[in-house]
Copies of this chain bind each other. A is one copy, B any other.
């Protein structure tokens, strides 16, 4: 290994390192060690958050029919690639650049030369941006054109996510967001990442419409079961694993708080499963694996805002209600004939809004403070309005000028063969089974 930079680097003390709080010349190496510990922790956390891309990909692919598996995977892969590059170009500057008005940042676009810590911070934040963008892919799966989807994901990562993000986390390079000024609490992004992604997804499914055969006229909603529940579970486990980096890494430094943060994360996830189980029972559904997984994810989304500022008992309560909401939210969407393939709007949107509220209600030092709760509600509503309305406009424009909905014949054949000339399981696929089924449903 080339060691050109290493000797000098381990002695350097970049000004921005958050864990280095005391100045003392003799202790130069100490600061370097804390800076090293901060860097390695953030880089591990970034890798875990990156892996959540795979989690989303497999959850969504498994929940889709096999004729769309490749298309789902491609959307997840490419939104990460395009999104990461655009976040470096534009999004990072909008979110973390100099933010004097509190509305968005205005510096650090396409950054090439930064303090050492800046590169780590940028990479970690890039992974977050990619997470927010990919939430829509699952909701809109199986009937959205690849090009239209990707254009939308690019705009979300480059503009929509960074702007509302700057309100809460902005000002890394100077200034402060207006929601942060009010005291809004969203430690790791129940609202900033998950709800914002989900409100974009909600706009997307409104514009693109439900899958063929999902809501037959004068009939109950018709479930279109996912083709591979092992894959769904793999996705769920990977997301859960990644969340320890998502929440734990949001300290943006190596410190002892990470223990409480990740303990709360684990307890909320587990409680989310129980909340979902209760909701399944109350709504007369069987003990569905897919339901339990969405319950776990609902618990995780809910604890994300308050994981650093609440106690384990309240974390369990937050998670349980998050899981409960995830299941009932899916029922609600069905009632409005909104077709969300994986339940992303319920899991990331509704449970995220609840979690943001819970972070205010269960704030350990000062729980149930009315002012704090009002600030949380303000943040939830403001981010909803921004993300939903801008994404709605965006998808309407994409649909009008570029094309968003796949051709019905393509949808019936499956987007894998029509958009990518590849199929997921060439030796096993029974492509026609679902096509004729869908066909009958439409002709009826």
Taking beta carbons and an 8 Å cutoff, which residues of A are in contact with B? 1-7, 9-12, 14, 17-19, 21-22, 24, 27-37, 39-44, 46-48, 50-51, 53-54, 57-58, 61-62, 65-66, 69-70, 73-74, 77-78, 80-82, 84-85, 88, 110-113, 116-123, 126, 146, 169, 185-188, 225-231, 233-234, 236-238, 240-241, 244-245, 248, 250-260, 262-263, 266-267, 269-271, 273-274, 286-290, 292-293, 296, 308-309, 311-313, 316, 419-430, 433-434
State the Cβ distance, A79 to closest chain B Cβ, in Å.
10
Pair A259/B84 contact, Cβ less than 8 Å: no
Pair B78/A273 contact, Cβ less than 8 Å: yes
Pair A42/B259 contact, Cβ less than 8 Å: yes
Q: Which residue of B lies closest to A71 (CB)?
A: B289
**A19 interface neighbour in B10, B61, B62, B85, Cβ under 8 Å:** B10
The 4 closest A-B pairs by CB, nearest first: A120-B259, A119-B259, A54-B237, A116-B256
Pair B256/A117 contact, Cβ less than 8 Å: yes
Q: CA–CA, A54 to B1, complex, Å?
A: 24
Pair A292/B78 contact, Cβ less than 8 Å: yes
Q: Which residue of B lies closest to A293 (CB)?
A: B77
A-B pairs with beta carbons under 8 Å apart, 10 shown: A6-B251, A40-B44, A43-B248, A54-B238, A77-B233, A77-B292, A81-B269, A84-B266, A112-B313, A123-B266
Pair A289/B237 contact, Cβ less than 8 Å: no
**A85 interface neighbour in B77, B316, B421, Cβ under 8 Å:** B316
Pair A39/B1 contact, Cβ less than 8 Å: no
Q: Point out the residues of chain B lying under 8 angstroms from A288, CB to CB.
A: 420-422
Pair A10/B4 contact, Cβ less than 8 Å: no
Q: Which residue of B lies closest to A240 (CB)?
A: B50
Tell me whether A256 and B309 are in contact in the complex, defined as CB-CB below 8 angstroms, given that A29-B22, A40-B37, A426-B225 are known contacts: no
Q: CA–CA, A73 to B78, complex, Å?
A: 28
Q: Point out the residues of chain B lying under 8 angstroms from A9, CB to CB.
A: 255-257
Most chain B C-beta atoms within 10 Å of own C-beta, residue among A5, A290, A296 = A5
Tell me whether A10 and B253 are in contact in the complex, defined as CB-CB below 8 angstroms, given that A53-B237, A57-B237, A259-B119 are known contacts: yes
Q: Point out the residues of chain B lying under 8 angstroms from A293, CB to CB.
A: 77
